[in-house]
Chains A and B, each alone.
Chain A
Amino acid sequence: MRTRRLLWVSVPVLLLLIWSVVYPSVNVITASFASGLDDWRTFLTNPSDRDATWATIVVSVWSVITAMLIGVPLAFALTRVEFRGRRLLSAVAVLPAALPPLVGVIAFLFLYGESGVFTRTVQHVFGLAEPPWTLTGLPAVIFVHAYTMYVYVYLFVAAGLERYDQSLDEAAAGLGATRRMTLRRVTLPMLTPALAGAALLVFMSALGSFSAPYVFGGGRRVLATQILASKLNGAEGLAYVETTVLAVTAVLALVLFRWLEGRRRYTSAGKGRAPRVAIRSPFWRRAAPVLAVGLVLTLVLPHLMVALVAFARDGTWTTQILPPEYTVDNFRRLATDPQLWRPITNSVSMSLAATAANVVICFLAAYLIVLTRAPGRRLMQLLVVLPWAIPATAIALGLAATFNRNDPATGRVLLVGTFWILPLAYFVRNVPVVAGAVESSLRQMDPSTEDAARGLGASWWLTIRRVVLPAARPGLIAGAMLAAVAAVGEFVMSIVLSTHANRPISMEILSQLRDFSFGTAAAYSLLLILLVLIITASARWAEGRWMSQ
């Protein structure tokens, strides 16, 4: 009886998820066989496809390794050691994650590219005739990934160390273990779930990464960029094969990591984090603050660079180390030229629309998954994580293959070429993060409070409004924030699906770069960073207002 009432909620949510998440993926796979096995044969024999597949794996594996090498020591240093500069460093340590993907990439271009500020400074200082390096090829891609993705490792390991029961290390020391042995035999094994979770996140992000390979790849392509190239060359069938291969690789990686993660999971009930210790060696005590300041500069530089170039007059920065002329014209033009203003309103409104849909649908899905015995909730649980396993390029291509004509009989609506295709894409992409955040909030709720409300005579709606929604609120706010940030700066799906009607900021940045209008591109980027800050601040504000209530 109650179950039947839940069906009115669960069936529409399930159908919507199947229609927007599963159906496009199925269409990609079907389309890859549209001309029999021909496209698959082409894929297997084509040298550039083989190279792209290999490059994808190399980039992903090395991204994991480099991100670990930066993130793990940084997490240990910031949670376990006390030194001058620690607070400042931990404040900026997550900064790279706040850069929208394309913005991070162009900041690197301005800094470390062939004509970048850092590159030219080195060239100038050492009096070299040629730039000391070219930021191109797979090492460049891995370099950019390491810089942006170590944050995941840092956050996961730091969180693991915050929860880590210090008495385990003390017990090991008491049994005569050296610090190295304690680290190797006790601390790191206990952190395995955190390390595996972070490795998975980096691997998946690197696998689907588009902007870094697109800008810095040079002649080398990874699958994500190869898909776009095939599509633009008119080899649609091949693009679908490449998409299928990429998506299947991603899902296999997900399964593999989950298996590794599940093999080692420990719980410990400890008194929590150990107090930070001071550095004993006099050398390191002096070196640590210098290192910290150096790191802080490295982390802040890309942001500063974007801010600086945003005020550079377009066309004046040629061979100088720093742009020679500064102006606020770039911003004035953005605000006054309707053509240039349009992408900003587009990005904001599409992000808002997609996030609103995410909030409603993901709240309902998380509610059904966590708090009810609604039929089909296990399927729903799978559907809400699926878009996370599928790289963004693959999602975009799936949507392009599905919503390209009106055919109600097969559930197709013509959205390609309209405004709404991108909000739909952002929505699909962000289902996992919003649903995940709400789910974890609801799991912390004592389920008997819902029973208590019903026992006190509250209707279903009153219970949802007064008990479930407040419990879900922290997750809803955090999830909505992440979704809005991701959508407002989205680039990968936009490059496949955007049209004149919904051209977002990221596409405009790209075209300004192509025109060598670095100043305008940087102004857009700065604006994007500002939008991200506004979204983050409003989420903080909403959370704070909520807490003080």
Chain B
Amino acid sequence: MSSGALSLAEVTKRYPGAERPAVDGVSLQVRSGELLALVGASGSGKTTTLRLAAGYEQPDSGDVILAAADGSARTITGVPPERRGFGMVFQHYALFPHMTVEENVAFGLEARGVRKRERLERARQALASVGLEGKGGRSVQALSGGEQQRVALARALVIEPPVLLLDEPLSNLDPTLRQATRDELRTMLRRSGVTALFVTHDQEDAFAVADRVAMLRFGRLLQVGTPEELYHEPASRHVAEFIGRASLIPAEWRGEAQARIVAGGVAQEAPVFVAERGHPDARGGWLAVLRPEALAVTSPDAAGAWRGEVASRRFTGGGHYELTVRLEGGMALDVLSTAGDVREGSRVGVSLRPGVRPVPLVLA
């Protein structure tokens, strides 16, 4: 499969009558063979970005550029979707209800004038590659949700697209199926070697499938990076809040390697990572992004610990409990704990776990 690289350059799209652009100056590159996830809350512009990439929408400004495997790049901004040759997997799959599984998969080849015998053969191969051997003659409506998703994937891959676009490919599946399917999806995409851009509102899906994740908010790109980068080195408060669980606690920082994190009048020192270093507007102060696993429960009288009361306690399996601790002074912290003897209402102390990664600091 000849996988291409797809770039969006300063792409902006405003719908008539909308207050602000749906996509606002987004620049993004999906490298050849890479799986890139677009995440964000609903209304963040991720689906519009995908539709701009696919050609179903035209940007008001900016360009869409496709670089072929041989390195030659061309602008495809005005090219309609039927001539882009991209594969697309739709949120509700958009399978043709009046065609069989095989006819669905063969349709893109029919559009390319491939002879019937060959296109059925290739459709069968594509179905086999997604684990649906022998189901070609079925009606698509007789398939389960997971099977439909794989038919949609086979239909998109059989045309050997330079780029594959997926719009919320997992959102239609029930939670148990979803976990298994996302691992399969990654395996199938990896095996085909296709360059893929996929949209999801679920950060766990993004982490499980993608090599890199791009986060959008109000049409703007906030950060692109590996899942680890987004989690441990968030570029801003919005990224820190959207990705993973975190408690945001005020911190005092003056440019050193350490910061003082202050809650309920008690300060703890920690090494920090600051993405917005040198940001012109730091008047609102800084917030430390405390992940539950970076915190530990101690006795309430431990020196330097934040003191509070356990407001809630959830068993998460594997001997772990997720506690919400309400500190003196009103702030709440989520803490991952192994202590089984802590009950709701217990008085505890909370400290930074020693030896963890630098704590991310973001602008308030």
Q: Give A residues with C-beta under 8 Å from B.
A: 1-2, 446, 448-449, 451-460, 462-463, 466-467, 470-471, 549
Say yes or no: B85 contacts A449, CB within 8 Å. Answer: no
* A456 in contact with B78 given A448-B91, A448-B94, A451-B56 (CB within 8 Å): no
Which residues of A lie under 8 Å from residue B97 when comparing CB positions?
446, 449, 471
Which residues of A lie under 8 Å from residue B108 when comparing CB positions?
456-458
22 examples of A-B residue contacts, CB within 8 angstroms:
A448-B90, A448-B92, A449-B97, A451-B54, A451-B81, A451-B90, A452-B88, A452-B90, A453-B96, A454-B81, A455-B56, A455-B84, A455-B87, A456-B108, A458-B82, A458-B108, A459-B82, A462-B111, A466-B107, A466-B110, A470-B96, A470-B98
Which residues of A lie under 8 Å from residue B159 when comparing CB positions?
456-457
Which residues of A lie under 8 Å from residue B88 when comparing CB positions?
451-452, 455
Say yes or no: A455 contacts B54, CB within 8 Å. Answer: yes
Which residues of B lie under 8 Å from residue A457 when comparing CB positions?
82-83, 85, 108, 111-112, 159
* A453 in contact with B95 given A1-B80, A458-B82 (CB within 8 Å): no
- Cβ distance A435 to chain B, nearest Cβ, rounded Å: 21
Which residues of B lie under 8 Å from residue A466 when comparing CB positions?
96, 107, 110
Q: Which residue of B lies closest to A546 (CB)?
A: B98
Which residues of B lie under 8 Å from residue A549 when comparing CB positions?
98
Q: Which residue of A lies closest to B58 (CB)?
A: A1
B307 at the A/B interface (Cβ < 8 Å)? no
Q: Which residue of A lies closest to B158 (CB)?
A: A456
Q: Which residue of A lies closest to B98 (CB)?
A: A470
Say yes or no: B94 contacts A452, CB within 8 Å. Answer: yes
**Which residues, 131 to 161 on B, are CB-close (under 8 Å) to A?**
155-156, 159
Distance in angstroms between the alpha carbons of A466 and B92 in the assembled complex: 19
Distance in angstroms between the alpha carbons of A471 and B159 in the assembled complex: 24
Q: Give B residues with C-beta under 8 Å from A.
A: 54, 56, 78, 80-88, 90-92, 94-98, 107-108, 110-112, 155-156, 159
Which residues of A lie under 8 Å from residue B96 when comparing CB positions?
449, 452-453, 466-467, 470
Which residues of B lie under 8 Å from residue A451 when comparing CB positions?
54, 56, 81, 88, 90, 94
Distance in angstroms between the alpha carbons of A446 and B83 in the assembled complex: 22
Say yes or no: B82 contacts A455, CB within 8 Å. Answer: yes
Which residues of A lie under 8 Å from residue B83 when comparing CB positions?
457
* A459 in contact with B111 given A2-B80, A451-B56 (CB within 8 Å): yes
Distance in angstroms between the alpha carbons of A1 and B98 in the assembled complex: 30
Distance in angstroms between the alpha carbons of A234 and B80 in the assembled complex: 60
* A455 in contact with B98 given A446-B92, A466-B107 (CB within 8 Å): no
- Cβ distance A546 to chain B, nearest Cβ, rounded Å: 8
Interface centre among B92, B98, B159 (most CB of A within 10 A): B98
- Cβ distance A428 to chain B, nearest Cβ, rounded Å: 31
Interface centre among A455, A460, A463 (most CB of B within 10 A): A455
- Cβ distance B362 to chain A, nearest Cβ, rounded Å: 37
Which residues of A lie under 8 Å from residue B78 when comparing CB positions?
1
Q: Which residue of B lies closest to A451 (CB)?
A: B56
Say yes or no: A456 contacts B80, CB within 8 Å. Answer: no
Say yes or no: B54 contacts A458, CB within 8 Å. Answer: no
Say yes or no: A454 contacts B82, CB within 8 Å. Answer: yes
Say yes or no: B111 contacts A458, CB within 8 Å. Answer: yes
Q: Which residue of A lies closest to B95 (CB)?
A: A449
Which residues of B lie under 8 Å from residue A452 when comparing CB positions?
88, 90, 94-96, 155
Distance in angstroms between the alpha carbons of A234 and B52 in the assembled complex: 65
